[in-house]
Structure 1
Amino acid sequence: MIAAVPLTIVPLILYNVIAFVFAGGSATSPIWQSELFTLTLVSGQAWVPNLADLIAVVAVILLGTEVIKATRVHRRSVLDHLVSTVVMVVYVVEFLAVGAAATSTFFLLTVIAVVDVMAGFTISLGAARRDISVDQGEA
């Protein structure tokens, strides 16, 4: 059952904890721009990622993991897609209705959730189509 929980829920929870516990529910809190570290690149330029960048990176990595999970065909696929769709709806509703989520970072997280749902359905349908054609070929 826990495997049916989409990993894209992790950035949602992380964002909400930071937004409502540490940023006081403010989308413009300076915490989002707090510098994590500084790395001097070969070009000599300093790269200074912030907290919002970190959340986006985590979300993209988890999206990749979700896409890999979608390539496996199993009985839970329908449940996986249903829960991913619910998480995506939560993202969309929160982006539209909650002031603390009115940021470019949260919009990016919402887009990642939409891509997760679309990719999951597309990959699963392709895999199911292949399974059906293989089954018919064996008959």
Structure 2
Amino acid sequence: MASFPLLAIVVAAYTALALVAPGWLNGVVFVLPLLSGSTLPFQGGDLLLVIGLLLLCVEVYRATSSSTAAILNHVLSLVVFIVALIDLLVMPRMANMTFFLIVLMTLSDVIAGFTVTISTARRDIQRPS
């Protein structure tokens, strides 16, 4: 489970909802009242973006490990990015800004994962024994 890329959940959820219930992604799920008296409506796609951002933070934290599971996580995160990119380019229902931002999150996960792991490995190699 440690090697499972968490953003795959968001990509799979968005893909499934876009195919089965596209109205939910654009419909208001709940409204958040603000101190100013205004309200902030959250659509289904917005909710998935918030969940994706939270999971991206967890993924960056998990990237600090240099274990075999972390390396496998980086490879699987790359696969999730490729699948999400193909979905964006090929499926008409995915061609919107919300899913584009989810794809950018998967790309950020890949870049951050490999960058943090390489930096950690370099620091471990340069440390005197």
Q: Could you tell me the TM-score, scaled by structure 1's length?
A: 0.88
After superposition, residues 32-51 of structure 1 pair within 5 angstroms as: 32-51=25-44
Structure 1 gap segments, 5+ residues each:
24-29
After superposition, residues 1-139 of structure 1 pair within 5 angstroms as: 2-23=1-22, 30-134=23-127, 137-138=128-129
Q: CA deviation at 1:72?
A: 1.3
Give the 3-state SS of the residue equivalent to 1:36 in structure 2.
Answer: strand
Q: Taking every aligned residue pair, what percent have the same amino acid on both sides?
A: 33
Which structure features the higher share of strand residues?
2
- CA RMSD, 1 decimal: 1.1
The separation in 1 between residues aligned to 2:112 and 2:126, in whole angstroms, is 21
Structure 2 gap segments, 5+ residues each:
none
Bigger Rg, which one: 1
Match for 1:58: what amino acid?
I
Q: Could you tell me the TM-score, scaled by structure 2's length?
A: 0.94
Give the 3-state SS of the residue equivalent to 2:93 in structure 1.
Answer: helix
Over 4 Å off, 4+ runs: none
What is the number of residues matched between the two proteins? 129
